[in-house]
């Protein structure tokens, strides 16, 4: 169970923790609970409270005994019995569910709106009836006095289906192109629908005429809000007879009194995401509004934030359990979220033990899991001489190291280094002495790494500080005092290699630039002393002289770069000659090769010729094979190329072919005498 606190409001997440697979046996589950702390500490409030892939909507029946949720994949609905804390039934559907509603107090009458325009009715035993609406639906509401279902969707019409007569009634014609959401006031039966134009139209079901129109898109735009597109209505909820909350696609929640066309309060989520659900909490006068990222709870009178909840995964739907502090969420993950907020209300009757559990946790705050453990790396274990404990219960592997008991760590460290306290005391004394020395005159201490670079930076800093023109020069950060570059002067891996080719080629340019910078500073100082206020030639020289000087400087460093390049080429030439000398002095020893069984050794020339042939390009190989006659390339009548070739046969195939030819000759030689005798016998000639 995970506990979070915001504005001193504790939120207990009852669905966090590891989930065990269904195919595990009870014996293995018990073994995992003994070994794994996370599995042992988790709370499985409702058994199998999850979906195969994603949960889209979640609702509680009116009697509070059943929790119904829809999800994918495959599309299905699951009903959980809270009295048994387990799954009641599961039914697979033909298509995904957009939304659903329970018409009875329990699960015996359910209406599903599918994303393929079908409306499906389920009874207690299962599927009951299916019908279709003309356009794709997005939301629907049930009017209890007249038994009418109002469907809104990708159409300007609101379709009415009467469940008592079993037929469609005349639709309500709105002024909108499409309608997103709808809701019916449970007190006086007013029907409201939210449109894509950002308006809310209110209808009286008794006379089937529009009685009000609210322009929420215009009211949602405030001085602080940034609107990039037209806000559409994405959520709608009534509370009592006169209060209505409207959520927009740009992340604003507008609170209305039905007697006024101006909103009482506009609350911005600051995320720019569509509001997905709105709920009222009457005991504390709170409104719970949720987008795909966060659930915010705020006071409906002042708009002050009460607390907020931000799950790990995106939110699809939120359901507040009636008359309690429990919150259920449908997320973009198999697990459905269960949160308990004791400030909102008590735990439901079927899980009243949560109150006692949370009270004990508040009275005895438990320390974190790692307070009694010390994290050590493999190098630390080698220093302590505890590498033989790897794999034992004393060490628990975690990331790039191990966790070990803090008491064992202190004991071993005291045995390995009994004078650790004395060293610690000396370090503290040394730090105090250095702090007192800091008040004295400091001497320049160069770092151990990149001393030349550090000296150069110090000199540049001193020149900049001595310059009287420093007021006009923009202050630059010092690399030596910047923590981001601290490692460059401490780690030997960052040492500048002055013998490398890159440094030798770039050093003339860098030195020239630094010299030009110093010369420029000197000129600026001279100009400041002279009091020259002319701004046409700020350098104090004519432009021709400056251009000639810059060209001379460029020629100078170009010559130096060429000189360094010539020196590098000479060094490479000397190294090659040295390698040749070493190769000539080395005595080659004969190498012996083993021939596999069944292979015939011919010479190394064949392998060398094959290697040369493989190194050639495809064009050269094709030309060579065309000369030998194994390949023929010709043009066809349609302008394409025709390629014919003969396969090369291996030595074994050639020997087999020669043996077959010899065998045929022997058989022919044996057949000739027999045929000759037969012919003589037919003619009647005597045998000699």
Instruction: Look at residue 417 and tell me if it is in a domain.
Output: yes
Pair 293, 383 in one domain: no
Pair 87, 175 in one domain: yes
Q: Which residues pair with 243 in a beta bridge?
A: 239, 257
* Residue finishing a domain among 384, 416, 434: 434
CB 3 within 8 A of CB 361: yes
Instruction: Look at residue 351 and tell me if it is in a domain.
Output: no
Pair 267, 376 in one domain: no
Q: What is the largest CA-CA distance in the chain?
A: 146
Instruction: Look at residue 418 and tell me if it is in a domain.
Output: yes
Residue 237: the pLDDT is 93
CA–CA separation, 584 and 563 (whole Å): 32
Pair 172, 303 in one domain: yes
CA–CA separation, 460 and 437 (whole Å): 26
Instruction: Look at residue 504 and tell me if it is in a domain.
Output: no
Pair 94, 207 in one domain: yes
* Residue finishing a domain among 381, 399, 434: 434
CA–CA separation, 236 and 254 (whole Å): 10
Instruction: Look at residue 654 and tell me if it is in a domain.
Output: no
Q: Kindly report the CATH number assigned to the domain that includes residue 227.
A: 2.130.10.10
Q: Output the CA–CA distances (angstroms, integers) from residue 492 to 448, 449, 450, 496, 645, in the order listed.
A: 8, 6, 9, 9, 63
Whole-prediction pTM = 0.53
CB 137 within 8 A of CB 153: yes
Residue 540: the pLDDT is 43
Residue 539: the pLDDT is 44
User: Which pair of structure tokens corresponds to residue 124?
Assistant: 């207690």
Pair 281, 426 in one domain: no
Pair 229, 118 in one domain: yes
Instruction: Look at residue 352 and tell me if it is in a domain.
Output: no
Residue 60: the pLDDT is 94
Pair 276, 383 in one domain: no
Pair 299, 405 in one domain: no
Query: pLDDT per residue over 255-267, tens digit each?
Result: 999 988 899 999 9
Share of the chain above pLDDT 90, in %: 28
Rounded to 10 deg, the angle between the 543-585 and 501-530 helix axes is 160
CA–CA separation, 162 and 230 (whole Å): 35
Pair 105, 210 in one domain: yes
Instruction: Look at residue 180 and tell me if it is in a domain.
Output: yes
* Closest alpha carbon to 67 in 75, 53, 51: 51
562 φ, ψ (degrees, to nearest 5):
-65, -40
Q: DSSP E strands: which ranges in 346-450?
A: 373-377, 395-398, 401-405
CB 104 within 8 A of CB 135: no
Residue 547: the pLDDT is 46
* 2-6/9-13 β-pairing: antiparallel
Pair 250, 394 in one domain: no
* Residue finishing a domain among 401, 434, 467: 434
Instruction: Look at residue 555 and tell me if it is in a domain.
Output: no
Residue 280: the pLDDT is 93
Number of domains composing the chain: 2
CB 504 within 8 A of CB 564: yes
CB atoms within 10 A of CB 527: 17
The whole domain housing 416 covers 372-434
* Ranges in the chain, pLDDT < 50: 366-369, 441, 443, 468, 470-471, 532-549, 675, 677, 681-682, 687-688
Pair 162, 272 in one domain: yes
Residue 545: the pLDDT is 44
CA–CA separation, 365 and 152 (whole Å): 51
* Closest alpha carbon to 67 in 54, 48, 40, 39: 48
């Amino acid at each position: 169970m995970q506990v979070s606190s915001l504005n001193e409001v504790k939120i207990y997440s009852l669905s966090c923790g590891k989930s065990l697979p269904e195919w595990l046996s009870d014996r293995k589950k018990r073994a995992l609970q003994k070994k794994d702390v996370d599995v042992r500490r988790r709370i499985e409030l409702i058994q199998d409270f999850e979906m195969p892939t994603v949960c889209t909507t979640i609702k509680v029946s009116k009697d509070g005994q059943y929790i119904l949720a829809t999800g994918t994949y495959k599309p299905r609905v699951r009903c959980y019995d809270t009295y048994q804390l387990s799954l009641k039934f599961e039914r697979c559907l033909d298509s995904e569910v957009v939304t659903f509603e329970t018409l009875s107090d329990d699960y015996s009458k359910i209406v599903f709106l599918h994303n393929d325009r079908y409306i499906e009715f389920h009874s207690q035993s299962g599927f009951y009836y299916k019908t279709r609406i003309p356009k794709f639906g997005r939301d629907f509401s049930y009017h209890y006095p007249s038994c009418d279902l109002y469907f809104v969707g990708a159409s300007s019409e609101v379709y009415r289906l009467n469940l008592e007569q079993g037929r469609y009634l005349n639709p309500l014609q709105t002024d909108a192109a499409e309608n997103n959401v709808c809701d019916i006031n449970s007190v006086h039966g007013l029907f409201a629908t939210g449109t894509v134009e950002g308006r809310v139209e209110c209808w009286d079901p008794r006379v089937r005429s529009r009685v009000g129109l609210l322009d929420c898109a215009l009211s949602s735009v405030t001085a602080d809000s940034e609107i990039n597109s037209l806000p559409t209505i994405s959520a709608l909820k009534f509370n009592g007879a006169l209060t209505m909350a409207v959520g927009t696609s740009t992340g604003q929640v507008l609170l209305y009194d039905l007697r006024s066309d101006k909103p009482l309060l506009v609350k911005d989520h600051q995320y720019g995401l569509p509001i997905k659900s709105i709920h009222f909490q009457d005991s504390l006068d709170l409104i719970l509004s949720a987008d795909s990222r966060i659930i915010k709870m705020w006071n409906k009178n002042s708009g002050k934030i009460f607390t907020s909840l931000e799950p790990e995964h995106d939110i699809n739907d939120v359901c507040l359990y009636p008359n309690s502090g429990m919150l259920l969420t449908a997320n973009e993950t198999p697990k459905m979220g269960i949160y308990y907020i004791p400030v909102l209300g008590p735990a439901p009757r079927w899980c009243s033990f949560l109150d006692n559990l949370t009270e004990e946790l508040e009275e005895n705050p438990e320390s974190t899991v790692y307070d009694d453990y010390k994290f050590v790396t493999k190098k630390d274990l080698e220093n302590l001489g505890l590498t033989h404990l790897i794999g034992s219960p004393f060490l628990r592997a975690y990331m790039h190291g191990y966790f070990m008991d803090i008491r064992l760590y202190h004991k071993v460290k005291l045995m390995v280094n009994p004078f650790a306290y004395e060293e610690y005391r000396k370090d503290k004394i040394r730090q105090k002495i250095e702090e007192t020395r800091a008040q004295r005159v400091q001497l320049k201490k160069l770092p151990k790494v990149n001393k030349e670079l550090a000296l150069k930076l110090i000199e540049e800093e001193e020149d900049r500080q001595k310059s009287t023109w420093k007021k006009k020069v923009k202050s630059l950060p010092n690399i030596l005092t910047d923590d981001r570059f601290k490692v460059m002067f401490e780690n030997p891996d960052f040492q500048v290699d002055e013998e490398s080719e890159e440094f030798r080629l770039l050093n003339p340019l860098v030195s020239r630039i630094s010299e030009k910078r110093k010369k420029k500073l000197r000129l600026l100082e001279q100009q400041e002393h002279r009091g020259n206020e002319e701004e046409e030639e700020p350098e104090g020289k004519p432009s021709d002289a400056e251009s000639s000087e810059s060209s001379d400087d460029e020629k100078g460093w170009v010559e130096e770069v060429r000189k360094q390049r010539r020196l590098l080429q000479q060094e490479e030439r000397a190294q090659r000659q040295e390698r040749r000398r070493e190769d000539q002095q080395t005595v080659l020893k004969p190498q012996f090769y083993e021939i596999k069984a069944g292979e015939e050794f011919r010479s190394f020339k064949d392998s060398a010729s094959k290697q040369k042939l493989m190194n050639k390009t495809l064009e050269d190989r094709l030309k060579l094979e065309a000369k030998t006659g194994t390949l023929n390339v010709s043009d066809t009548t349609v302008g394409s190329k025709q390629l014919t070739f003969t396969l090369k046969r291996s030595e074994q195939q050639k020997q087999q072919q020669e043996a077959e030819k010899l065998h045929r000759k022997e058989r022919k030689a044996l057949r000739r005498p027999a045929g000759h005798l037969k012919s003589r016998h037919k003619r009647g000639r005597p045998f000699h």
